[in-house]
Amino acid sequence: MTSNPLKLGFIGLGIMGAPMCGHLIKAGHQLFVNTRSKVPAEIAETGATQCTTPRGVAERADIVFTMVPDTPDVEKVLFGENGVAAGLSKGKVVVDMSSISPIETQAFAQKIAALGADYLDAPVSGGEVGAKAASLTIMVGGSDAAFERVKPLFELMGKNITHVGPVGSGQITKVANQIIVALNIAAVGEALVFASKAGADPAKVRQALMGGFASSRILEVHGERMIKRTFNPGFRIRLHQKDLNLALQGAKALGVALPQTANAAQLMQVCAANGLADADHSALVKALELMAKHPVAEG
């Protein structure tokens, strides 16, 4: 328990937000919360103060965290009717931990700065498992002073915390992360489809590969999901599609070609078109299975 409890706000108590908020509460901080749907029982039972609007959170808290699905959601939470901006005062900090557009992030930060408050973009990687274990990777953009002020709170939610640079840098890093993750999922999927169709036991193939240069966290976690057919969402395909679209939009603006990213985005679109938009992104393998007319494993 902290000897110096802070008044904190948390907006967005979904698969990721609820456990992240829970770590702040367990550390002894006073939490003011708001979410689109019902506040999860594990948060409601802690005594966190439930606010009916984002404005109410911002009026009561000195540091406000947001964790919502997409760029328009962040904009609505911050600048919509009774949004965070309406409740801010000088010296407060807004920390957006969503994964959204780097360009829009910079615009949001300018508006918040005009109100006398600081803004950090701090998207995360690690999924539901990392959120629950407080082992998230957190990539932060913003001023040195704001980062140092919030860093002890980041340390309650994550392990690998990096101040990358000015506002927007965190989101740029997260887009890069999502490119790497998507391409790795596709690579693992292709390898396991190939091995299975060729007649090898995919579970034993994965086990063998885990000891070699092809070993990766994706092979370990998502490869197991592909074999066990456990596609309940840790990170949904539709959210990863959103992130890859941000990558491709950014690449177009920068005049950069991202051919493998575009291919991974199309594989996810195949999944979405077949009713898998809300499945875990490891279900990308199902697009490859459809083309091969062969599942990695039964189930």
Mind listing the pLDDT tens digit for each residue in 245-255? 999 999 999 99
Catalytic: which of 174, 197, 204, 293?
Answer: 174
Asked whether the CA dihedral 19, 231, 137, 256 is positive or negative, the reply is negative
| Mean pLDDT taken over the chain | 96
3-state secondary structure of 71: helix
Q: Is the pLDDT of residue 2 over 80?
A: no
What integer pLDDT is reported at residue 299 of this predicted model? Answer: 77
User: How many whole angstroms separate alpha carbon 169 and alpha carbon 121?
Assistant: 8
Q: What is the mean pLDDT of residues 280-289?
A: 98
Q: Which two tokens stand for residue 152?
A: 């002890």
Q: What is the mean pLDDT of residues 98-126?
A: 96
Asked whether the CA dihedral 107, 110, 111, 117 is positive or negative, the reply is positive
- Residue-wise pLDDT for 165-195, tens only, equals 999 999 999 999 999 999 999 999 999 999 9
Contact yes or no for 54/81 (Cβ under 8 A): no
What integer pLDDT is reported at residue 3 of this predicted model? Answer: 67
**Residue 229 binned pLDDT confidence (cut-offs 50, 70, 90):** very high
Q: Is the pLDDT of residue 270 over 80?
A: yes
Active site residue 174: yes
Q: Strand 93-96 vs strand 49-50: parallel, antiparallel, or unpaired? A: unpaired
What integer pLDDT is reported at residue 233 of this predicted model? Answer: 86
Q: Is the pLDDT of residue 4 over 90?
A: no
Q: What is the mean pLDDT of residues 19-40?
A: 96
Q: Furthest-apart CA pair in the chain: how many Å?
A: 65
User: How many whole angstroms separate alpha carbon 271 and alpha carbon 289?
Assistant: 11
Residue type, 272: A
